[in-house]
């Protein structure tokens, strides 16, 4: 449990911290799904090409591969990852295994984001609560 006093100078950052951690998980989950889909399409374009052997892996001679590379780049799949999938296809691999994260509370996505495993609490004083009840200022 993480507890912070209501009058701590970093209280606003503390409150926002959990929201930012949720955004990290959302980005990780979404990104893994997008990348997995793009890499599968690239692998399929290499494997299902009807041209001669080397042409399978060259976007200049495999229009399906060229299209899938362009689509992958459009959704920010790193070039190094795209290249690696093409290399794997060239080596005879016909399917791609890319980790896809989920929003399950016990998933790797949540386990890798530091703030998600804490119970964040703000300690408030009686004076603060009385000010809230009176709709007054608290300092």
- 7 is written with which tokens? 């009058």
Taking the chain (139 residues) in runs of 10, the rounded mean pLDDT of each run is 82 84 89 96 89 77 94 97 95 91 82 70 85 85
For 121, which DSSP code?
A: E
Distances from the Cα of 43 to the Cαs of 17, 63, 102, in angstroms? 39, 13, 23
Distances from the Cα of 25 to the Cαs of 29, 33, 100, 110, 121, in angstroms? 6, 12, 12, 6, 21
User: For position 52, what pLDDT does the model report?
Assistant: 59
76: alpha, beta or left? (left if phi > 0; alpha if psi -120 to 50): left
- Token look-up 């951690």 returns 21
User: For position 93, what pLDDT does the model report?
Assistant: 93
> What is the C-alpha to C-alpha distance for residues 32 and 83, in angstroms, rounded to an integer?
17
CA-CA-CA-CA dihedral for 24, 30, 71, 53, to nearest 10: 110
* Confidence (pTM): 0.73
> What is the C-alpha to C-alpha distance for residues 65 and 68, in angstroms, rounded to an integer?
5
């Amino acid at each position: 449990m993480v507890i912070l006093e209501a009058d701590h100078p970093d209280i606003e950052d503390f409150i926002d911290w959990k929201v930012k951690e949720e955004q990290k998980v959302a980005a990780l989950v979404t990104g893994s799904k997008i990348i997995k889909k793009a890499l599968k399409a690239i692998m399929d374009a290499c494997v299902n090409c009807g041209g001669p052997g080397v042409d399978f892996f060259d976007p200049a001679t495999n229009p399906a591969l060229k299209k899938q590379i362009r689509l992958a780049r459009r959704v920010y799949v790193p070039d190094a990852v795209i290249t690696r999938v093409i290399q794997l296809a060239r080596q005879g691999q016909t399917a791609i295994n890319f980790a896809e994260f989920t929003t399950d509370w016990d998933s790797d996505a949540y386990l890798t984001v530091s703030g998600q495993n804490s119970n964040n609490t703000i300690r408030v004083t009686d004076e603060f609560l009385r000010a809230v009840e009176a709709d007054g200022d608290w300092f």
